[in-house]
Amino acid sequence: MPFRDVQNLGVNDYTKVWYTQALTDKGIAMLAKRDIKRAEMITAYTPVLLVYMDPQLSTLEQEKYLKNAVN
């Protein structure tokens, strides 16, 4: 089941393991505050997909782009 109650799983919680910083010629980076152990959860967020239904596209074209976005 892809959607379930995520309480107590650490999803959408800030783990305090990382921070963001602007790097010259790179943009914004996510950097570790300490060594990270193998398989340690760093971040987990509930995915969101916002869709603007363009009336100029046919239903088939819209479905094609939506399928491409989620695959």
15-55 pLDDT tens trace: 788 899 999 999 999 999 999 999 888 887 777 777 778 88
CB 31 within 8 A of CB 20: yes
Structure tokens at 37: 């152990």
The pLDDT, as a whole number, for residue 10 is: 64
Read off the pLDDT of each residue in 55-71 and give the average, rounded to a whole number. Answer: 87
By CB atoms closer than 10 A (0-12, 13-18, 19+), residue 62 is middle
